[in-house]
Amino acid sequence: DGGITQSPKYLFRKEGQNVTLSCEQNLNHDAMYWYRQDPGQGLRLIYYSQIVNDFQKGDIAEGYSVSREKKESFPLTVTSAQKNPTAFYLCASKGLGGYNEQFFGPGTRLTVL
């Protein structure tokens, strides 16, 4: 089945540690996205990538970093510079251009202790 996988579903880290969230898709989509969601809020865009080896900052990129070495993969690193990292993180992908139908993964809930 085609889709997007995110792992792990739940992640716990100590304050001050960097942590990398995984996102893989087998939909052959060019564009991939990372969103953050806080309780009771909508999604906010962290980073997105439209092509391998290229990515753009979203609305809340500070304290995060990404890479796009392969079309299928778009890992997100939450660095120690991110002041409030505890949140629900969602990855999405879509075909380049055209309509904005994004496919989302199941999300990773990160808790920083």
Least distance in Å: CB of 80 to another protein?
26
Instruction: Give me the residues paired with residue 32 across strands.
Output: 49, 93
d(CA 3, CA 61) in angstroms, rounded, equals 25
User: Is the Cβ of residue 50 or residue 80 nearer to another protein in the bound state?
Assistant: 50
Binding site for another protein (CB under 8 A): 4, 31, 33, 35, 40-45, 48, 50, 58, 88, 90, 92, 94, 96-107, 109
Least distance in Å: CB of 52 to another protein?
15
User: Is the Cβ of residue 86 or residue 103 nearer to another protein in the bound state?
Assistant: 103
Residue 85 CA neighbour count, 13 Å, CB half: 26
d(CA 55, CA 39) in angstroms, rounded, equals 27
User: Is the Cβ of residue 35 or residue 64 nearer to another protein in the bound state?
Assistant: 35
Tokens of residue 55, six digits: 């990515």
